[in-house]
Amino acid sequence: MENITGIIIAFISGVFGPISVMYTKHLLEKRKPKPDMVTEALRVGELVTSKIDHIREEFNADRVWITQFHNGGHFLHSNKSMQKFSVVYEVDAAGVLPVSTVFTNIPISLYSKCFSEILSTRFIGISDYEDETVATYGLKPGAEATGAKATYIVGLFDFGTGKLMGSVGIDFLEHQLTICLIL
């Protein structure tokens, strides 16, 4: 009888021991706080800001920004979504005013020449807004408002679908030599 009792105890310990350990781990995991969405967004924001600040320093630029397309709401007459873009990340040199406050919820249709060019060539390079021979793709009024003398924009495309999701822009408030980017 003692042997059977020992076997039963060993069997119960062998089967229910790991189950109780797994159950205890499960209870502890449930109590562990999940990452907060705001905390995660801040972590990603700090990472992106750090990277684009590195770009700004590398090119000795005055401003680097990232735009993102988003749904801007519905029109009453058509009930269709209006596509807009906003500057979602930006770093500026000391004393340079940000453009993110100006370029928020801007209808894409106001910059159709710019985005058409980015769709076809993936890049816009404006080395001097004052040079009449340089195409500005409708960006000159915005450049005048933000003090940019030269702007370089690279489209951000989804790897899977190939759709344009936004752009990265580099602004210079002083005239610069043409930048060559390898895409």
Digit-coded pLDDT (tens) for 36-91: 888 888 989 999 999 999 999 999 999 999 999 988 665 556 666 778 899 999 99
Backbone angles phi and psi of 14, in degrees to 5 = -70, -35
Task: Specify the 3-state DSSP secondary structure of 13.
Answer: helix
Let me know: does 93 contact 171? Beta carbons within 8 Å.
no
Residues in the chain: 183
What per-residue confidence (pLDDT) applies to 53? 96
What per-residue confidence (pLDDT) applies to 73? 64
What per-residue confidence (pLDDT) applies to 25? 74
| Residue 167: partners with Cβ closer than 8 Å, 6 or more residues away | 66, 67, 118, 153, 154, 155, 156
| Residue 141: partners with Cβ closer than 8 Å, 6 or more residues away | none
Digit-coded pLDDT (tens) for 113-164: 999 999 999 999 999 999 999 999 999 999 999 999 999 999 999 999 999 9
Let me know: does 48 contact 64? Beta carbons within 8 Å.
no
